[in-house]
Structure 1
Amino acid sequence: MEKRGAICLVSGGVDSVTALYYVYHRIKPKDIKIIFCNYGQRTFEEEKYCITKISNLLNLEMKIIDISWLGEISTSLLTKKNLEIPETKFEDLFDAEKAKSRILRWWDPCRNAILILIALAHAESLDIRYNIKYDVYIGIRRETPVAMKDNTPEFIEIMNKLVDHATHYGGYKVYAPLITYDKDKVVRLGEELGIPWKYTYSCYRGGLGYKEVNGEKIPIHCGWCSNCRRRILAFKEANIKDPSIYLKLD
């Protein structure tokens, strides 16, 4: 069977790092390359810090790609450092109507499609130059109770249909191995794979600095944004200790 390479899109969060570790330990491809994109996100420095730590631990090549123009055209709070990130209550995570109303707060135009196409372009380039097929892996999940359109199995299916039309040779695959997982299941898998959770960052706010713990810098999460709330809840439901530092826990 043909041994293929893997290009992993990693953002530094629980899901993308777990997907990376899954590829590394379970898929065991011929080669793994990490792509991390700077789309102007307010949490870029914390994410970069974590991904650098992870890539060094796994001894993997990491490439940072600047697509900050995306942040310039986005209305998402993820790219607007001057705007406050609103607090989300734990109970609101399960309210479908409130979840729908929050989507545009975090929506960057075509982001996941752009990320996948960036990784696909690298896969095709490597194939043309070295005659090695690389597949693309992304750590997105279908979030409940309401999923963003580009976090669904249907989206991945469509991106795979695009592959053969967008590339010369075709034959590359786009995988989202965690697409149907709940977040607590992701945490359990990540724990099984040995992820150092202190080097993952989920916060939407960012800019809160770092705390030194046992001689190591740990980035601080706010604890009140919707993504922090989901992270806290997932670790609690998985019954796994979260070593993250939170500014606010209640």
Structure 2
Amino acid sequence: MKAVVLLSGGLDSATVLYSAIASGDECYALSFDYQQRHQKELESAIAIAQSAGVIDRKIVSFDLRSWGGSALTDDKIDLPQERSLAQMSADIPVTYVPARNTIFLSFALAYAETIDAGRVYIGVNALDYSGYPDCRLDYIQAMQEVFRLGTKQGREGEAIKIVTPLIDLKKTEIIQLGNKLGVPWEKTWSCYAGGDKACGVCDSCQLRLAAFKELGLQDPVAYIC
């Protein structure tokens, strides 16, 4: 079956892509350049898509910097650093990009219906992140209904299915799954900062490093500290 896979270039989305391929789906990778602070992730998305041998890959470009509202699109907002897991889960952080997954899933839905795909994969995770509202199961369920009601395919046939293989996995479990699937971790990029090396102190780096450490593994990505 044809499938559109949202591929950011991060650890989670890379694992989702390799999982979709292992399931036998013909994968079409879709990435987004929204002028995010960490645009380096797009280089990783391209490298991962090439490594995985996807059928096709596309990058959709638009600019969210003029809207602001997030530390990932507004350089005036400082990235959270060196926070504990308890602090990360206390509230929705400034790294939340308003309605980002709704934007992404809308593009993915349009692309999927155009190429007659039956599935859209997204690497949302409700456990190891700070409670982003668009990474939770009730949100995915609501978007699934949008997929059904908002498309010709959904009204006249079988709705395109949103697939979330990581939603209930811990970060350590995601890494273990990726290891089984042969995900090239050295090609992935998780850091929210915009440097040549990962900062090691933003929320995303902290979660990634903690998971590799818990498993007794060395993260192959280069860090500043």
Fold shared by both chains (TM-score > 0.5):
yes
Number of the residue aligned with 1:93:
85
CA contact 1:163–1:172 (8 Å) conserved in 2: yes
| 2:144 aligned to which of 156, 160, 164 | 160
Q: 1:35 to 1:241 in 2, by over 3 A?
A: same
Per the TM alignment, residue 38 of structure 1 is displaced from its structure 2 partner at its CA by 1.0
| Distance 1:149-1:83 versus aligned 2 partners, 3 A rule | closer
CA contact (8 A) 1:40 1:72 kept: no
**Is 1:126–1:134's contact at 8 Å kept on the other side of the alignment?**
no
Query: How much has 1:28 moved relative to structure 2?
Result: 1.0
The structure-2 alpha-carbon separation of the partners of 1:226 and 1:49, relative to structure 1 and needing over 3 Å to count, comes to same
1:74 to partner: Cα distance? 3.0
In 1, Cα distance between equivalents of 2:97 and 2:43:
22
Partner Cα separation in structure 2 for residue 7 and residue 145 of structure 1: 23
Contact 1:94 1:144 in 2 (8 A): no
Q: Aligned residue for 1:203? A: 191
Q: Which has the larger radius of gyration?
A: 1
Counterpart residue identity of residue 12, structure 1: G
Structure 1 residue 149 corresponds to structure 2 residue 133:
yes
1:222 corresponds to:
199
Q: What is the SS of the residue equivalent to 2:97?
A: coil
Tell me the CA shift for residue 107 of structure 1: 1.5
- Which of 144, 166, 175 is the aligned partner of 1:187? 175
Deviation at 1:62, TM superposition (A): 1.2
Shift of 1:232: 0.2
* TM-score, reference length from structure 2: 0.92
Asked if structure 2 preserves the Cα contact closer than 8 Å seen for 1:156 and 1:175, the reply is: no
8 Å CA contact retained: 1:24, 1:32: yes
Name stretches of at least 5 consecutive residues in structure 1 with no aligned partner. Answer: 128-132, 210-219
Helix, strand or coil at the partner of 1:57: helix
Q: Does the 8 Å CA contact 1:39/1:66 hold for their aligned counterparts?
A: yes
The farther-off stretch of 231-240 and 184-193 is: 231-240
Structure 1 contact 71–79 (Cα < 8 Å) conserved: yes
Instruction: Work out whether 1:28 is the aligned partner of 2:17.
Output: no
**1:173 pairs with 2:158:** no
Q: CA RMSD in A?
A: 1.6
In structure 2, runs of 5+ residues without a counterpart are none
Describe the shift of the 1:120–1:197 C-alpha distance in structure 2 as closer, same or farther (beyond 3 A): same
Give the superposition deviation at 1:40. 1.7
TM-score by length of 1: 0.83
Q: Which residue of 1 aligns with 2:34?
A: 39
Are residues 1:106 and 2:95 paired? yes
Residue identity over aligned pairs, in percent, reads 32
CA contact (8 A) 2:101 2:134 kept: yes
1:7, 1:35 within 8 Å by CA — same for their partners in 2?
Answer: yes
Deviation at 1:43, TM superposition (A): 0.9
CA shift, 1:145, in A, is 7.2
